[in-house]
Amino acid sequence: LNWDGTGYIVGEPGPVDGGQPQSFRVANLGVGYTYYFAMKTSDEWPNWSTISNTTFAQTSLVSGAELNLPARLELGPGNPNPTNAATRIDYALPAETAVTLDVHDVGGRRVTTLVSGTLPAGRYQAVWNGRDESGRDVVSGVYFIRLVAGRESRNQKVMIRR
């Protein structure tokens, strides 16, 4: 295989039990091409795994209905909630737009930014690890997840119990 032009995805997948399958979505692929995927993972220190077996996928043209694209902006509750560690946040965008997904404390101060950039229409997941921008564990309490996409916004409450 020619690995020239290799890209990578950086981010925290949703928490899963060991040995359980993990999935991810790659956007903006060209139609009719064959893409090869191999995975490496790291833990929080970071210790890197060996590269996985290579698999491939051929892209094809599908409609928005087949992709299950949302009709409106959506922000799901953190899962699990309450939590003492990480919580997964599901969100959906009906169209390509500039997006920020932040965590705020009850005083309205931004604790951390989970997502910032322009994303295509689709369904996404982000994980908040219960830490602030500096990597420190936040104290027990109520926090607000705020999704801003274009001129719309959504909020969800999440509780941290230490």
Quote the CA–CA distance of 93 and 48 in Å, as a whole number: 32
Q: Is the pTM of this model over 0.85?
A: no
Quote the CA–CA distance of 129 and 135 in Å, as a whole number: 9
Q: Sheet harboring 122-128: ordered strands across?
A: 74-75, 87-93, 122-128
pLDDT value at position 121? Answer: 86
CA dihedral 3→8→13→17, nearest 10 degrees, is: 20
Quote the CA–CA distance of 146 and 162 in Å, as a whole number: 22
pLDDT value at position 1? Answer: 44
User: Low-confidence residues of the chain, pLDDT below 70?
Assistant: 1-44, 51-67
Quote the CA–CA distance of 33 and 50 in Å, as a whole number: 27
Distance of CA 104 to the CA centre of its chain: 18
pLDDT value at position 32? Answer: 58
